Amino acid sequence: MTESISWKYAFKVWYRDFLVWTRYWWTSLFGALGEPVLYFVGFGYGLGALIKEVEGVPYLEFLAPALICSAIMHSASFETTYSSYTRMEIQKTFHSIAMTPVSVREVVVGEILWGATKSLLSGGVMFAAIAIMGLVHSPMALFAIPVLIITALLFSSLGMLMTSFARDYDFFTYYITLGLEPMFIFSGTFFPTHSLPPLVQRLTWLLPLSHPISITRGLFSGKIVEGFWISLLWISVLTIAIFRWSIRRMENRLVV
């Protein structure tokens, strides 16, 4: 297939998913925000009462930006694994869209874009709530937005890559329990990674989630963190590579 991507058609697929979402958006946001709010209240206030300050900021402020990033990770991942897989295998939606002028590749791209968008919608609501609560101390926080967009695209693509390997839903359970959850814990969400043993610390650098967390956390208190550019470069390269790889694999899976 030498055919290139027409973004116009990819966005038609995006629109299909958006249209469906408008019918249950309230439940969807409620579901996506439930968990982070729980962590926020439980850990932020509960643990925050004991810890007071981490890296020079109150624990709640330390936690808030990280929870935005991990909420985006979770939401994007769920959308392009469980939901995309259902549309592909159970509902045959991919196949029926591919009977129209839209190509298989554009279907996959549209799905990835939608997964990213959906996660940014819940991430956006959290961002706003945290700002209203007065936990953002610098207008530099606005620079976090493009970083969050990359994060959304990264995990949306990674989810699609997993879907390209999946033969059943169990596969995603493994991906989430063995992949995403450890990443959630060890990427510096709840505690700074430098409190880990040096070797583990170095390994956490490889975890994609650790970068948006450290960058966003810095920006929220008006700082450009050490290694900002290299982190940004790493997640950007990773996003592009996984995006392309997932599309190629999905195409090979679908077009037989």
Partner 1 sequence: MSLTEKTKIIEAKNLVKKYGELTAVDGISFHVNAGEFFGFLGPNGAGKTTTMKMIYGFSPVSQGELKIFGMSPQDDLRNIKRKIGVAPQDMSLDPDLTVIQNLQIFARYFDLTKEQTEKKCEELLNFFHLKEKATQPIDHLSGGMKRRLLVARALINDPEILILDEPTTGLDPQSRRVMWERLDDLKKKGVTILLTTHYMDEAEELCDRIVVIDYGKIIEEGNPKQLIQKHGVKNLEDLFLKLTGKGLRD
Binding residues for partner 1 (CB under 8 A): 3, 9, 12, 15-16, 19-20, 23, 91-93, 95-104, 255-256
Report in angstroms how near the CB of residue 12 gets to partner 1 at its nearest.
5
- Cβ neighbors of 233 (< 8 A, separation 6 or more) are none
Task: For residues 254 and 247, give the distance between their C-alpha atoms in angstroms, rounded to a whole number.
Answer: 10
Taking the least distance from each CB to partner 1, the nearer of 100 and 177 is 100
Cβ-contact 94, 85 below 8 angstroms: no
Report in angstroms how near the CB of residue 110 gets to partner 1 at its nearest.
11
Taking the least distance from each CB to partner 1, the nearer of 1 and 142 is 1
Q: Is 54 helix (H, G, I), strand (E, B) or coil?
A: strand
Task: For residues 216 and 140, give the distance between their C-alpha atoms in angstroms, rounded to a whole number.
Answer: 10
What are phi and psi for residue 2, nearest 5 degrees? -100, -5
Taking the least distance from each CB to partner 1, the nearer of 81 and 210 is 81
Cβ-contact 167, 80 below 8 angstroms: no
Taking the least distance from each CB to partner 1, the nearer of 2 and 199 is 2
Task: For residues 46 and 199, give the distance between their C-alpha atoms in angstroms, rounded to a whole number.
Answer: 30
Task: For residues 113 and 93, give the distance between their C-alpha atoms in angstroms, rounded to a whole number.
Answer: 16
Report in angstroms how near the CB of residue 26 gets to partner 1 at its nearest.
16
Taking the least distance from each CB to partner 1, the nearer of 240 and 254 is 254
DSSP label at residue 81: I
Lookup: tokens for 230? 């290299």
Report in angstroms how near the CB of residue 20 gets to partner 1 at its nearest.
4
Report in angstroms how near the CB of residue 122 gets to partner 1 at its nearest.
19
Task: Specify burial of residue 37 (Cβ count, 10 A radius: 0-12, 13-18, 19+).
Answer: middle
Taking the least distance from each CB to partner 1, the nearer of 16 and 211 is 16
Q: Where are the alpha helices (DSSP H) in 57-103?
A: 59-78, 84-85, 93-97
